[in-house]
Amino acid sequence: MNDAAHDLHAPHFIGIGGAGMSGLAKILAVRGAKVSGSDAKESETVLALRALGAEVHVGHAAENLPAGASNVVVSSAIRHDNPELAAARERGIPIVHRSDALAALMGGRRALAVAGTHGKTTTTSMLAVSLAELGLEPSYAIGGDLDAPGSNAHHGAGDIFVAEADESDRSFHKYAPEVAIILNVELDHHANYASMDEIYESFETFVGRIVAGGTLVISADHPGARELTGRVRGRDGLNVVTVGAAEDADVRVLSVVPRGMTSEVTVLLDRAELTFTVSVPGRHYAHNAVAALAAGVALGIPAADLAKAIGSYTGVRRRLQLKGEAAGVQVIDSYAHHPTEMTADLEAIREAAGGNRVLVVFQPHLFSRTQQLAEEMGQALALADASVVLDIYPAREDPIPGVTSELIIDAARRAGAEVAAEHSFAAAPAHLASLTRPGDLLLTMGAGDVTNLGPAILESLRGPAHLAGVATDA
């Protein structure tokens, strides 16, 4: 761990409004640190941090860096030429990666780290909510808000700290959990990993960080996870618990029964059947809940108590979150941006929709991901009745010649999908509203600012032009 991370009495966060950074800033502010930071724009998250006493600037400038800053906290998304980062170097202020700061915050607690290519935020959230429901007062740091801006992190009085462990830049190598969950292992983050061998090596390193006598909870169904299990099983001081529908799973999923926007899950645990409710739809969310259950049991929490508490989890923002309903159309927001996530969310919504149509507006995230996975993204979109694809959200990346949304659209059409392009973000709400009819479920899907379309689509659906069209069609 970076030694500078041990002294976080006056940290300055560059990009403090981000999902991961804001959580750490919140915990430190609650613990009494003098927190400052900057972000590109105002947001509800920034306002929530200011309410806790943090000094937050909008825009990046060298003068934002306080004279008394103990260190500067950055994530991998911060560019090398950021003026505040440059000022810190010039002034000799220690620079701390977000993962080192999180590792320091977990120090002295029973750490539970949730890793995997997909499902980390949901599973971490399930654990945070259910442990709190049981009165265990956990601390947690999640990559998304539970129910309100600033609810992505909490400083609790209990001895458990639940954290989302990010593999994208290998930062999860910094943690030393008592219990680790690995939900799945796939090739993603193409800017940092060149092959599956590199992915396996990285996850093996993470497993090696589990404290002696600790437990790895890992999928028995996912091919990449099974390969990883074979590589690490038998290590001294490591307990391995496999979970899933596979017959050889230690905690076996016997059934997942859809109940509208919820599921009833039955598992075989310690040779006894246990049935509980998961209050979000879809088989993959049910499996996330079972992984959370197994991890809690590894910490010594009674399975029946934890299973009941998991039912109190009702979702996290952007994970199949209902944004509203208008003109008989439900608008639902999905953070899915990798083909596996896209497929899982579309299958979940298809189950919840019954015989109604499922429509999608998809915003690809990152040029590098689109370059590598356009074909699979297009195939996933074929699960919808109709889809609209926006231009690529670049995030931290520069364009790659020849890589556009058309790659996904062409792949979707080859897979038999009904799909159209929309290059104007401003025109998208009216375009989407025009495609709908009462009873439809419409997903805004992607990791970028596509989430902002939900309210605008609902407004278009309530507009006189759309309502007149619905009346005419009727």
CATH of the domain at 42: 3.40.50.720
Whether 229 has a binding-site annotation, put simply, is no
pLDDT band at 1 (very low <50, low <70, confident <90, very high): low
- 391 and 463 share a domain? yes
Number of domains in the chain: 3
Q: Report the chain's mean pLDDT, rounded to a whole number.
A: 90
pLDDT at residue 466, rounded to an integer? 60
Q: What percent of the chain has pLDDT over 70?
A: 93
- 252 and 115 share a domain? yes
Long-range contact pairs involving 342-345 (C-beta distance under 8 Å, separation at least 24):
342/377, 342/380, 342/381, 342/445, 343/380, 343/383, 344/118, 344/282, 344/283, 344/284, 345/282, 345/320, 345/443, 345/445
pLDDT digits (tens, 9 = 90+) for 198-233: 999 999 999 999 999 999 999 999 999 999 999 999
**219 domain-assigned:** yes
How many residues are recorded in the chain? Answer: 474
pLDDT at residue 39, rounded to an integer? 95
Whether 120 has a binding-site annotation, put simply, is yes
**398 domain-assigned:** yes
pLDDT digits (tens, 9 = 90+) for 352-378: 888 899 999 999 999 999 999 999 999
- 156 and 299 share a domain? yes
End-of-domain residue from the set 97, 116, 133: 97
Render the burial of 212-222: b for 16+ CB within 10 Å, e for the rest: eebbbbbbbeb
Q: What percent of the chain has pLDDT over 90?
A: 74
- 301 and 395 share a domain? no
Q: ∠ CA 48-50-54 to the nearest 5 degrees?
A: 125
- 124 and 147 share a domain? yes
- 386 and 431 share a domain? yes
User: DSSP label at 16?
Assistant: T
* Other Cβ atoms within 10 Å of 465 Cβ, number: 10
pLDDT digits (tens, 9 = 90+) for 59-118: 999 999 999 999 999 988 888 899 999 999 999 999 999 999 999 999 999 999 999 988
**304 domain-assigned:** yes
Can you state the percent helix, strand and coil of the chain, rounding each to 5?
40, 25, 40
Chain centroid to Cα 138, Å, comes to 19
User: DSSP label at 121?
Assistant: H
pLDDT at residue 469, rounded to an integer? 56
pLDDT at residue 186, rounded to an integer? 86
- 213 and 111 share a domain? yes
End-of-domain residue from the set 66, 97, 128: 97
Whether 472 has a binding-site annotation, put simply, is no
Q: Taking 50 as the threshold, does the pLDDT of residue 474 lie above it? A: no
Q: ∠ CA 275-276-280 to the nearest 5 degrees?
A: 140
Q: Which CATH number is 221's domain given?
A: 3.40.1190.10
Mean pLDDT of 110-129: 91
Q: Which CATH number is 449's domain given?
A: 3.90.190.20
- 389 and 341 share a domain? yes
Whether 215 has a binding-site annotation, put simply, is no
CB within 8 Å of 317: residues ≥ 6 apart: 144, 145, 146, 147, 333
Chain centroid to Cα 212, Å, comes to 28
Measure Cα distances from 359 to 192, 224, 421, 427, 440 in Å: 33, 31, 14, 17, 7
Q: Taking 90 as the threshold, does the pLDDT of residue 195 lie above it? A: no
pLDDT at residue 472, rounded to an integer? 45
**102 domain-assigned:** no
Mean pLDDT of 270-289: 90
Q: In 155-239, which residue ranges form alpha helices assigned H by DSSP? A: 196-208, 223-232
**278 domain-assigned:** yes
**445 domain-assigned:** yes
Whether 23 has a binding-site annotation, put simply, is no
Q: DSSP letters of 290-336?
A: HHHHHHHHHTT--HHHHHHHHTT----TTEEEEEEEETTEEEEEE--
Query: Distance between CA atoms of 311 and 299, rounded to whole angstroms?
Result: 19
Q: Taking 70 as the threshold, does the pLDDT of residue 470 lie above it? A: no
Between 117-121, 144-148, 319-323, 444-448, the lowest mean confidence (pLDDT) is in 144-148
Q: Which domain holds residue 46?
A: 3-97
- 169 and 221 share a domain? yes
User: DSSP label at 64?
Assistant: G
Strand-pairing partners, residue 330, are: 325, 441
- 150 and 282 share a domain? yes
CB within 8 Å of 83: residues ≥ 6 apart: 60, 61, 62
- 17 and 144 share a domain? no
* Other Cβ atoms within 10 Å of 424 Cβ, number: 10
Whether 262 has a binding-site annotation, put simply, is no
Whether 119 has a binding-site annotation, put simply, is yes
pLDDT at residue 191, rounded to an integer? 65
- 67 and 130 share a domain? no
* Other Cβ atoms within 10 Å of 236 Cβ, number: 6
End-of-domain residue from the set 310, 342, 367: 310
**442 domain-assigned:** yes
Residues involved in catalysis = 120-121, 164
Between 35-49, 310-324, 329-343, 432-446, the lowest mean confidence (pLDDT) is in 310-324
Per the model's pLDDT, the better-predicted residue between 12 and 75 turns out to be 12
